[in-house]
Amino acid sequence: MSKWFRKAVKKRPPNTLGGWKKKLSAEARRRKALSSRPKNWNLDTKIRSAGRALTALANVTKDPETRKKARSDAEYFFRKLKR
Domain boundaries, the chain: 21-82
**Cα separations (Å) of 31 from 39, 41, 53, 63?**
13, 16, 14, 22
Q: Tell me, what's the pLDDT at 13?
A: 65
Q: Tell me, what's the pLDDT at 18?
A: 84
Q: Tell me, what's the pLDDT at 12?
A: 62
Low pLDDT (below 70) residues in the chain? 1-14
Question: Mean of the per-residue pLDDT values for the chain?
Answer: 88
**Cα separations (Å) of 62 from 40, 70, 81?**
33, 12, 27
Q: Tell me, what's the pLDDT at 11?
A: 65
Asked if 47 and 34 touch (Cβ cutoff 8 Å), the reply is yes
